[in-house]
Amino acid sequence: MSSSSLPEPSLTASTLTPPTRTALPFLASQEIILNELTDTLAQISQAQANAAIHAILNAPRIFLTGAGRSGLALKMAAMRLMHLGLTVHVAGEITTPAITTGDLLIAASGSGTTPGVVLAAVTASKAGANILAITTAPASPLGTVATNLLVIPAATKQDDSAIKSQQYAGALFEQSVLLLTDALFQTMWHLRGENAAQLWKRHANLE
């Protein structure tokens, strides 16, 4: 039998580990994720988003920090802010300078208690910088030190109740960070009036 005539593999309970779980069809999984994102993003405060945009566009320099997948989402946001022509640094990179008065730190932590993120926010605040916190918990240590908040009403990593999200380990928050910052970018891009060709000139050419 040729390889082209081999049957397509099927996803059944017997192919999963552990084998006791019933397979969830891919399209159903996709629908769960998209519905959760639509519902969550619709609840984000327009006033908070507008304040965040004002803080970003008026900061002389922007720094971003987050751990794990939240940190990866913010690195994607950092690239887009660079495309806008803003001065952007990712905390922890070897060439990142000291944050100082008037700068903006964008910090993401679902729980608002991630030690490294909270420490960075406290350090930035002591240096006179403004803090834009993206979190699910406005009363958390990160939230209370923040100048501006973007509250995402998603489940935190250790919330496995499946009430706010059926996804695993804070995935909804991390996905929302990416889409929220992309929406902020989209808004700022149109506010600044540059076309795509102008932004593309700033794209990395040493990749």
Burial of 148 (0-12, 13-18, 19+ CB in 10 A): middle
53: number of Cβ within 10 Å: 16
Q: Which residues contact 124 (CB under 8 A, 6 or more apart)?
A: 63, 99, 103, 105, 131
Residue whose structure tokens are 């994102």: 37
Look up residue 178 and give its two tokens.
């990416």
Report the C-alpha gap between 68 and 200 in whole angstroms.
28
Q: Does residue 174 carry a catalytic annotation?
A: yes
The residue behind tokens 């995402």 is 152
- Catalytic residue selected from 8, 31, 93, 174: 174
Q: Which residues are catalytic?
A: 174
